[in-house]
Amino acid sequence: MKIEKEDLDQTACTVHHLAIRDTMELLSGKWKLRIVGSLSFGKKRFMGLKANIDGIAAKMLSKELQELELNGLITRTVLNTKPTTVEYELTAYGHSLKPVIDVIADWGTQHRKKIIDEMKL
Amino acid sequence: MKIEKEDLDQTACTVHHLAIRDTMELLSGKWKLRIVGSLSFGKKRFMGLKANIDGIAAKMLSKELQELELNGLITRTVLNTKPTTVEYELTAYGHSLKPVIDVIADWGTQHRKKIIDEMKL
DNA sequence: TTTCATGGTTTCCTGTAGGTAACCGGTTTC
DNA sequence: GAAACCGGTTACCTACAGGAAACCATGAAA
């Protein structure tokens, strides 16, 4: 049985697809990438995140944080303060997403420039 | 008025957020990234894409392709064949997404490895 | 003349993502 | 004892993303 170039492409392509799907599933939802992006600037508390991420409701923030923690991307630390404060921080694994976030943010930045330039014409 | 480090962080962070949101809006939906990923291997026809992207329905493919074309990421070329065939191809701008796709696919690949390794324990 | 292929569109239906708003428990401050 | 702050949870609601299946026009082939 001969292996055609098409087959190789097909295989490479399938793996590619699986990988993309995996990443996007982990980062699914409107807010996860934003939360990770926010935390990539340093650890933050619940209210800090809520203030930092414009428009997010407490319910969503709490839910998304739980999923991120389940997936080992962030840690949740309850501090012994009064009133109780909770710190969220990227794990090492969470930090491994930095290249992903950065390249997405970079593309978005230059895309926004392009759109603005086009408006000026 | 003094500019604090926090303010700078805040500004950097806001821009970051906008950029992330912009990119993700363009690539929103379950299939767009997969379509672009598929086309990054070379131009394809409608049926080729449908076969290549496991599970996508014609309706979704057609809809997503329209949006991608509107955003200038792909071109649609109707060929003078019988039966009519249509070629979809990434534009130069679409190709500029390659680093984004690649880094997402790379992360997904190593994430999948990690999960499999953890299962072996 | 019936069937097959291409590249779709249309209709119908459903799950769920995500929004709003009220509420909660513990603690400190007024 | 009322109000405020933190970090949530709960209940309720709905718009829309997305799936399934049927349908359509064109033309070639059988």
End-to-end Cα distance, chain B: 57
Fold of domain A30-120: Arc Repressor Mutant, subunit A (1.10.10)
| Distance between CA atoms of residues B37 and B34, nearest Å | 5
- Please check the confidence at residue B2 and state whether its pLDDT lies above 70: no
Residue B102: HSE in the Cβ half-sphere, 13 Å Cα cutoff? 9
Kindly determine whether residue B100 and residue A103, on different chains, have CB atoms separated by under 8 Å. Answer: yes
DSSP state of B92: H
- Put simply, whether B51 touches A (Cβ < 8 Å) is no
pLDDT for position B45: 98
| Distance between CA atoms of residues B95 and B115, nearest Å | 30
Residue of B nearest to A22 (CA): B108
Tell me the pLDDT of chain A (121 aa) as tens digits: 444 455 556 677 788 999 999 999 999 999 999 999 999 999 999 999 999 999 999 999 999 999 999 999 999 999 999 899 999 999 999 999 999 999 999 999 999 999 999 998 8
Task: Kindly state the tokens that stand for B95.
Answer: 């190709």
Q: Considering only the beta carbons, identify the residue of A13, A34, A52 that sits closest to B52.
A: A13
| Distance between CA atoms of residues A70 and A68, nearest Å | 5
Token pair 């994430």 in the structure block, residue: B111
Task: Kindly state the tokens that stand for A69.
Answer: 């923690």
Neighbouring-strand partners of residue A79: A85
Report residue A66 CA to chain centroid gap.
Answer: 14
Task: Kindly state the tokens that stand for A5.
Answer: 């170039």
Q: Tell me which architecture the domain covering B5-120 has in CATH.
A: Orthogonal Bundle (1.10)
Covered bases, chain D (protein CB within 7 Å): 5-11, 17-22, 25-28
Task: Kindly state the tokens that stand for B3.
Answer: 């500019």
